[in-house]
């Protein structure tokens, strides 16, 4: 007879005097005297004493980027800073350019990694295509290019938008008040004016005139709450999201002054159904508010990127397409790939000039080591740039990509 192991639960505290080995540990809080394998690693390099002649590439420092501990997938970045001195031997001001390069040797097995499935949005200027993916995928990008498995394209304008409103579907019915349908009036008078906006007018009762509508939502999601008020009287307009038709149960409130205007708020809703309530915030009889465009749009996080179409479009216009990150583009194994170039225009002080130059490269997410080097050159004819002090900071950081 087969044995079935039952799940074991700990309802209070679990104290282990030893080692826990597991594929996954899920808990609200975890405290330990020692973790084997750093979630974030940082390594320091130092260099100095190099001299750079006119228009000569000089290697300032060579080093290896360590394999992340436990070979965990981590985002990898390199930051370089150096202080230098240029001795011109002249009391005159001299102007020219200094270049700093971060370079990585392309490994024998050239890495590439899937970013995700992107949807075309629009075509941009200078042969670029804008596309998006739902969620935060910024960590999956880095230096180099993007494309298909064996296509390579430049990209630009990478950005994240936390709350993108899905305006194709509005939780609010009759949002522009073409009629009075779908809304329930409480006190006062509610009318549709010219079938283009709603008017709520106070009557002689003590309660403020208001209307409400029950709408269906998804618990735990964030919605964009839009509203517009036209100036009609001295009454302010108040907008509520409530768990019932009673204003007293509102969990969100917004006011638009009697002078009119529009507002948008991103509101997290923890209920499967809510009430949208609009109130004429005045007890004075015949005071009124004019409201329009009351929307409740579900939002989603999105990552946007513009991908070059030079050489051919890699994201289909009508079908979502997988996009990959290529940290070394089409460079061949064993070659050195410049992953960051910093160009600095310099005008010297008389005789001796001091300068500091920085560069930083984000390589993307990976779990391997890299051979790296820092190089520089300048175009001060007949002069020498001396490196007095330089540092390289290497950082590997967990990004939650272990299952990718």
Q: Which CATH number fits domain 169-300: 2.40.128.640, 3.40.1710.10, 2.60.120.260, 3.90.1280.10?
A: 2.60.120.260
Nearest 5°: the CA angle 220, 225, 228 is 175
Residue 29, helix vs strand vs coil: coil
The H or E element containing residue 273 is: strand 273-281
Q: What is the mean pLDDT of residues 267-274?
A: 98
At residue 14 the predicted structure's pLDDT band, cuts being 50, 70 and 90, is low
Residue 71: what pLDDT? 81
pTM, 2 dp: 0.84
**Residues contacting residue 349 through CB under 8 Å, at least 6 positions apart:** 93
Cα–Cα distance between 130 and 276 in angstroms, integer? 35
CATH of region 40-108+331-398: 2.60.120.760
How many residues make up the chain in this entry?
A: 404
> Is residue 1's pLDDT more than 60?
no
pLDDT, average across residues 65-72: 89
Q: Give the separation between CA 296 and CA 276, rounded to whole angstroms.
A: 9
Q: What does R_g of the chain's alpha carbons equal in angstroms? A: 31
pLDDT in tens, 309-319: 999 999 999 99
What is the per-residue pLDDT across 321-379, written as a single tens digit (0 to 9) for each? Answer: 999 999 999 999 999 999 999 999 999 999 999 999 999 999 999 888 999 999 999 99
| pLDDT given at position 171 | 98
Quote the DSSP letter at residue 48.
-
- pLDDT given for residue 39 in this prediction: 76
Q: Which two tokens stand for residue 302?
A: 């999105």
Domain with CATH 2.60.120.760 in the chain: 40-108+331-398
**202-228 average pLDDT score:** 96
Q: 197 or 5: whose pLDDT is higher?
A: 197
Residue 374 near residue 390, CB atoms below 8 Å? yes
pLDDT of residue 56: 96
- Per-range mean pLDDT, top range of 1-15, 63-77, 122-136: 122-136
Instruction: Give the pLDDT score at 13.
Output: 65
Pairing verdict, β 184-186 and 370-378? unpaired
- Residue 64's SS3 state is strand
96-111 pLDDT tens trace: 999 999 999 999 988 8
**Residues spanned by CATH 2.60.120.260 within the chain?**
169-300
Instruction: Please report the pLDDT score of residue 72 as a whole number.
Output: 87
Q: Per-residue DSSP letters for 294-355?
A: EEEEEEEEEEEEEEE-TT---S-SSS-EEEEEETTTTPPTTSEEEEEEEEEEEEPPSSEEEE
Q: Per-residue confidence at 236, pLDDT binned at 50, 70, 90?
A: very high
């Amino acid at each position: 007879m087969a044995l079935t192991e039952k799940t074991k639960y700990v309802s209070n505290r679990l104290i282990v005097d030893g080692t826990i080995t597991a594929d996954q540990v899920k808990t609200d809080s975890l405290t330990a005297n020692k973790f084997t394998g750093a979630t974030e690693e940082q390594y320091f390099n130092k260099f100095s004493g190099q001299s750079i002649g006119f228009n000569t590439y000089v290697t300032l420092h060579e080093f290896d980027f360590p394999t992340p501990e436990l070979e965990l997938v981590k985002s990898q970045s390199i930051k370089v800073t150096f202080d230098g001195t240029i001795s011109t031997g002249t009391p005159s001001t001299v102007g020219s350019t200094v270049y700093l390069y971060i370079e990585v040797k392309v490994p024998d097995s050239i890495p590439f990694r899937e970013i995700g499935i992107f949807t075309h949005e629009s075509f941009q200027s200078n042969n670029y295509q804008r596309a998006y993916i739902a969620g935060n995928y910024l960590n999956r990008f880095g230096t180099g290019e993007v494309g298909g498995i064996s296509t390579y394209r430049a990209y630009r304008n990478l950005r994240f938008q936390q709350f993108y409103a899905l305006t194709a579907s509005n939780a609010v019915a009759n949002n522009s008040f073409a009629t009075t349908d779908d809304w329930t009036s409480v006190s006062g008078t509610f009318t549709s004016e010219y079938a283009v906006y709603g008017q709520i007018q106070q009557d002689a009762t003590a309660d403020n005139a208001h209307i409400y509508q029950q709408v269906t939502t998804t618990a735990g999601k964030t919605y964009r709450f839009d509203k517009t008020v036209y100036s009609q009287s001295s009454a302010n307009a108040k907008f509520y999201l409530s768990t019932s038709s009673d204003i007293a149960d509102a969990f969100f409130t917004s006011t638009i002054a009697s002078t009119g205007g529009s507002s948008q708020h991103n509101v997290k809703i923890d209920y499967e159904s809510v009430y949208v309530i609009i109130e004429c915030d005045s007890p004075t009889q015949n005071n009124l508010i004019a409201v329009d465009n009351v929307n409740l749009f579900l939002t989603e996080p999105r990552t946007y990127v513009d991908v070059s179409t030079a050489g051919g479009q890699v994201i289909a216009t009508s079908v979502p397409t997988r996009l990959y990150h290529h940290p070394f583009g089409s460079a061949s194994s064993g070659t050195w790939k410049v992953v960051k170039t910093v160009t600095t225009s310099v005008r010297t002080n008389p005789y001796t000039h001091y300068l500091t130059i920085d560069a930083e490269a984000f390589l993307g997410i990976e779990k391997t080591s890299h051979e790296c080097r820092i190089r520089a050159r300048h175009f001060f004819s007949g002069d020498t740039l001396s490196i007095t002090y330089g540092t390289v900071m290497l950082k590997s950081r967990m990004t939650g990509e272990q299952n990718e």
